[in-house]
Amino acid sequence: MSSMKEQFWAARHPPKNPSHLSFNNKVILVSGANDGLGFQAALKYAQLGASTLILGVRSKEKGEAAKVSIIQQTQCSNITVMTVDLSTFASVKDFARRVNEEVPQLHVVLLCAGIMTSKYEKSPDGFEMALQVNVLSTALMVLLLLPKLQKTVCCDGSIPHLCIVNSLATQEIKPELIPTDNMLIQRLNDASKFDFYAHYYLVKLAARFFVQELATQKCADPDTMVINCCCPGMCRTKLLREFPLVLRLVMAPYRYVCGRSAEEGSRTLVSATALGSESNGKLWLNDELPPPGPFMASQCAADLSPATFQEILTILRQHCDLEGML
C-alpha cells in the first residue's frame, strides 16, 4: 500500500467535486448503493440530473432507506431499488434479468459492491468469497448487462459507460506475489495459499485484468462504449465490516487520520463515468490516468492478463450462457 505520508496527503487533497458534470436524462445503475461510496455516488448522480437511478443493494430495507434519503436531498424521484447478492451467481443472473426486462435504456453502470476478507471463506458456489464477489460475480454482472448498454448507443447515440471500483494496490503489485503458472484465479481459490495481504492485492489485480481485457475487446471503436476502473483512495467506509472487532478498533485511528470521507471518494467514481475513450481499460485515480505501475507494465502482466480473463470466462460459462456476449 501507499505510505502513511502519501495517504495523509491524499486525505487532505481529495479529488475535485465533479459538480460541472451533467447526467441529464441518463439512466444510471449503481451497485452497493445503500451506503458508503455507492450511496454517495448515487446521490451525486441525482444531484447532477440523472433521470433514473437503479440502486443495486443486498438489503431491500437499506436500499429503500437510501432511496428515501436521495429523494429528500434531490429532485430525482425516479429511483428503483433492486436486490442482488454477489455471493451467488443465481442472484446476479436474476438481478441482470430484471434490469434487462424492466429498464428500457442504460447509460451508466457503476459497480461499487465489494468485500474485504481477513480469512478464507467459501461462497455458496464454492469459490473464495472475495474472489466470488469482487471478481467472478462482478464480471458476470458486467457481461449480462453489456447488451443493454450496447443497445443504448443505437437508441439515442449516447456512449455508455461502465466502471468498476478497483484499487491503487494494482499499481504496487510485487512480482513475488504472482503465481508462476499464470493461474491467478486458481491461486486465489486455494485455501492453502490464503494470505490476507497477498489476497487483497491479487483480487484487485484479477478484477483490473478483467476490465483491461474486456475494454480491449469491446472498445476497439471509441464511439461504442467506455469501460474503465477507478480507485477512490482509502475511505472511511464499512469495507472492514467482516474483520474481527479488535482489528477494526486498531485500524480505526489510522483510517480516521489518513482516510477520505465516502463523499470525497465518490467524486472519483462519478467523474470516472464521464471520461472518454482515452480511459478505456485504465485506472482513474486522483483526477488522472496514471501510467501503469512497474508490474502492470511488465511482460509478466501482459501474459497474465489474458490468461486471467480466460480463467474467469471458463468459470462463468459453467454457470451462464455467454454466447454472443464476447
Catalytic residue positions, numbered: 200, 204
Cell readout for 71 is 429523494
3-state SS class at 293 = coil
Please answer whether residues 120 and 182 qualify as being in contact, where contact means their C-beta atoms are separated by less than 8 angstroms.
no
| Cell numbers for 120 | 478464507
Cβ-in-10-Å burial (0-12, 13-18, 19+) of 314 comes to exposed
Contact between 185 and 134 under an 8 Å Cβ cutoff? The reply is no
CB atoms within 10 A of CB 204: 24
Distance CA 229, CA 282 (A): 6
Tell me how far apart the alpha carbons of residues 47 and 266 are, in angstroms, rounded to a whole number.
Answer: 13
What is the 3-state secondary structure of 169-188? HHHCCCHHHCCCCCCHHHHH
The torsion angles phi and psi of 57, rounded to 5 degrees, stand at -135, 155
CA distance linking residue 170 with residue 172, whole number of Å? 5
What is the rounded CA–CA span in Å between residue 16 and residue 205?
26
For 18, 105, 223, 302, the CA distances from 22, given in Å and listed in that order, are 9, 17, 19, 36
- Beta strands 226-231; 161-165: pairing state: parallel
DSSP letter, residue 92 = H
